[in-house]
Structure 1
Amino acid sequence: MTSCAARTSETPDQRVRRLVALHFHPETGSRYWVRRAARLGLSPQRDLQSEADLLRLGPMDASALADRAVEEFVPAGVLAGGRAGLVPVETGGTSGRPKFAVHRRDEFLQAFVAPFVAAAARCGFPREVNWLFLGPTGPHVIGQAARACAEAMGSMGPFCVDFDPRWARALVEGSFSRTRYLQHIEEQASRVLAAQEIGVLFATPPVLASLGAKVDPPCRQRIRGIHFGGMCVTSQLRAELAELFPNAVMLSGYGNTLFGMMPELAYDPRHGIDYFPHGARLLVRLVEMGEGGEGDRLGRPVATGRRGQVVVTRLDEAQLIVNMFERDSAVRLPPPADAGPGFVRDGLRDVQPIVTERTKPPGGLY
């Protein structure tokens, strides 16, 4: 593997060439990508030299991430170096069947922890206070990320209330069972809040709003930081959370298990939340949402300031995911001018779920 110093100084296109050499090597590369290049008639070392060249691979086959063994996506050379440092994870299944992914531990920190810590430093998010995390653990990466983020902020590992998003979505909205499950989560959280000195809450916006309406004002006033994710948050709901938790710094994150998170760097109630990727490992494109299949639209980016569908590429050694169409739309932003080191890529404003005749916006609790 390349040294950390060399990786830090490389350009985006140099990163592409390094990862192409790794993942597309006929003997020590990733089986999935070696076969994909052969089917497309590509010579990777010749045809995939830049970020723009990655468009030649076409849209990511999302079903492959659900159906195939994770070893097909991890370079054989990485596996030969030992599996103990690899973290297998699954998505929650919001947009279909759950998908599998792998993060190497150092890349996991780059994907989920470094972006949060950088954004937290900018907004004055509290350090060295206890966290309460209400969210999925088990196969979902976010539980591991919550612990790592809390510890990176000088806190002990978070107090936790386990929340199963797959089960929550299986319950009919408005049903007694859905209501009872939320009560079950809130009862556990209230018990922790009553007994422990909690300074940070981490959960989805609807769960935070429901919990905040039930705990007493002194408890809410002790909360100094709120980190929320898992689903889009409206300006109305964010304003409600600000009223419920008047002393809390709020920090949102956009992302998922496959890629990592992009932290909030700015918020304006007129325009929504601005999210930006941290570092060079994520390439985010916004493409037209009009007629045509994903393959046609992949090469039709929207201009800065225009809304498009989110397409993400993950450029890691443990796993390469190229041109993955997400279920969301956003407004394209240029790289931020004053965000500090690491925020050098285009960003997203006002992320919203795409609603079509075949899909409905994700709602409920997670």
Structure 2
Amino acid sequence: MAEPQGAAFVREMMRWHFGPETGSPFWLKRAGTLDFDPLTDVRDFDDLSLFPNLVDELRDVRVRDLIPRGYGDGHSAGVYESGGTTGQPKRVVFAAEWHRRSVEWFSERLDAHGVARDVDWLSAVPTGPHNVGAMAVDTAALRGGLNFAIDLDPRWVKKLLADGHTDMAGAYTDHLVEQIAYILSSQDVGVLFATPPMLERLAQRDDLVELVNRKIRTIIWGGTHLDADTRDLLRAEVFPNTRLVGGYGSTMMLGTSVERPGLGDDEPCVFDSFAPYTTFRVVDPGTGRVVPYGERGQVVVHHMSRTALLVNNVERDHATRIAPVAGGFGDSLADVAPVESFSGTKVIEGVY
């Protein structure tokens, strides 16, 4: 069965999410408050701008109301939460089919980068209510490996930093590095999945730098931004024996995007989305208009799949607008960096 494409895919998603037999209680109720009819007025990707940004409602909504009726009874799903960077966490539901599909796509992108299969992973990413931990476990398993995890609570670090307890935040980060060190020294792991702050902490210890360069074939980084200079330093001088592959994702994206393969060392890291299910737009934050290619703006994310409809989600990041790969939709992103504040809240990345 061919993948859905373009405008036909958008109309298919509108029929699913606003059909009385398939839509979720959340969207079927919300439809009555919209000043347009999604079934007749939303015909292509550009029409998604008609929707209001509703992600803040996901902080308090009854989670079962987010599950589309089209799944029927007895389906399997997971509930995941955001990191709480801009306030109380938001919640989303991943149907099992969507989680499986996103893991398979992630794995295919790793293949495009030449990431080895049949090796074990060390994942220094959030677990618990965060989907990235579940994705790490299942991606490693799909590729023939085991996944070693650490306890990482990103909200605790952000709370400590917000309250000015930098010493305690530093001590907690040391605790995370100790967990990583124990696994690195005792296990044969070939993939390290970690955030840029964790990589920078590892780089401060010569013994761990030696272990990474000796054991790790690929470092997958994501969760917080990594500027071009630090990326070059890590790739060329700190971890020269490993391959670095970047990811850009969020809970509200319901997945991740992956660095475009085949780019030269002097080219920026470009992120391609899992289109048509997840698409990016880069807009002028003042006017909401799409900026020209090569210019910077705020990232807007659309997610459309059977598992969820989350469109016109204004992210807390700025990026440079890049043309998508041939046959792609929306925009690709380069030089992603967080804004200083978002929705009146100071943005604190911490360790994730």
Tell me if both proteins adopt one fold, taking TM over 0.5 as the criterion. yes
Q: Which residue of 2 aligns with 1:214?
A: 205
Q: Report sequence identity in percent.
A: 35
Name the counterpart of 1:347.
332
TM superposition shift of 1:205: 0.8
Is the contact between residue 193 and residue 221 of structure 2 (CA under 8 Å) also seen in structure 1? yes
CA distance in structure 2 between the aligned counterparts of 1:138 and 1:148, rounded to whole angstroms: 14
**For 1:260-275, what aligned pairs fall within 5 Å after superposition?**
260-265=255-260, 272-275=268-271
Q: Deviations over 1:309-333 (max 9, x none)?
A: 1111111112111111100111111
Superposed, 1:249-328 pairs within 5 Å as 249-259=243-253, 260-265=255-260, 272-290=268-286, 297-298=287-288, 300-328=289-317
Question: Residue 102 of structure 1: CA displacement?
Answer: 0.7
2:58 touches 2:90 (CA, 8 Å); kept in 1?
Answer: yes
Partner of 1:244: 238
* TM-superposition CA deviations, 1:323-364 (whole Å, max 9, x none): 111001111111224xxxx85553111111123594545343
Evaluate the alpha carbon distance shift between residue 38 and residue 74 of structure 1 in structure 2; reply closer, same or farther with a 3 A threshold: same
Contact kept, 8 Å, 1:276 with 1:345, in 2: the verdict is no
What amino acid is aligned across from residue 364 of structure 1 in structure 2? Answer: G
* Contact persistence 2:249–2:256 (CA under 8 A): yes
2:4 to 5, 10, 33: 10
In the alignment, the residues of structure 1 paired with residue 265 and residue 30 of structure 2 have an alpha-carbon distance, to the nearest angstrom, of: 44
CA positional deviation for 1:176: 2.6
Give yes or no for the alignment of 1:69 onto 2:62: yes
Taking structure 2 as the reference length, the TM-score comes to 0.90
In structure 2, stretches of 5+ residues that fail to align are none
**Alignment correspondent of 2:46:** 52
State the TM-score, normalizing by the size of structure 1: 0.87
Report how far residue 15 of structure 1 moved.
Answer: 1.6
Q: What one-letter code is carried by the residue in structure 2 that aligns with 1:155?
A: G
Once the two structures are superposed, what CA deviation does each residue of 1:41-90 show, in whole Å capped at 9, x if it has no partner?
43332222222222222x32222111101222222232x2423x211111
Amino acid at match of 1:262: S
Structure 1 counterpart of 2:194: 203
2:134 maps to a residue whose letter is Q
Cα distance in 2 for residues equivalent to 1:240 and 1:283 = 30
Does residue 223 of structure 2 align to residue 227 of structure 1? no
Post-superposition Cα deviations, 1:154-195, rounded to whole Å, max 9, x if no partner, equal 222x11111000011111366331121111111111111111
Shift of 1:27: 4.9
Structure 1: gaps (5+ residues): 291-296
Match of 2:109 in 1: 119
Question: Is the Cα–Cα contact under 8 Å of residues 271 and 350 in structure 1 kept in the other structure?
Answer: no
